[in-house]
Amino acid sequence: MKKTPFPKWLIETLQIVILIAILYAAYILAGPFLGGKPVSAQTWLYYPVQIFVALIAVGAYRYWKESQRIASEKAKKEAELREQRRLAESKTQHEANIKRNQNVQQNLKRQKNEPR
């Protein structure tokens, strides 16, 4: 995948908003043919404002989703590290317990073999 200087959420936002802008312009242009009513100049005056609002809304949503995804991945990695640490500690504790039990068994054998 080609590395771009822009974040993924920004590129996806622009793609979505450009598609919305094209579809909305087509809707405005096709309105007189489909509905029979002429398009007012006010509709075209508000068009850039509506596209800007869509850009802000979609951009905020995509940024939030991307930050949630990154936080989720970070939490998963931390959970995996905690699990690996826990398993390593468990293994070392298990080995220490085995060694302690072997020492206890040896001490019991010595005490049995020693005459009183």
Instruction: Please give the share of the chain, as a percent, with pLDDT higher than 90.
Output: 46
User: pLDDT digit string (tens) for 79-112?
Assistant: 999 999 988 888 888 888 888 888 878 887 777 7
Spatial distance between the Cα atoms of 66 and 59, rounded to a whole number of angstroms: 10
Instruction: Tell me how crowded residue 16 is: count the other CB atoms within 10 A of its CB.
Output: 16
Q: For residue 52, report the phi and psi dihedrals to the nearest 5 degrees.
A: -65, -45
Choose between 42 and 52: higher pLDDT. 52
Smallest CA-to-CA distance from 7 within 53, 64, 48 is with 64
Torsion of CA 11, 13, 16, 20, to 10 degrees: -130
Return the closest-CA partner of residue 67 out of 5, 3, 8, 6.
Answer: 8
Confidence of residue 20 (pLDDT cuts 50, 70, 90): very high
pTM for this entry = 0.64
Identify whether the C-beta of residue 51 lies closer than 8 Å to the C-beta of residue 21: yes
Look at 46 and 115; give whichever has higher pLDDT: 46
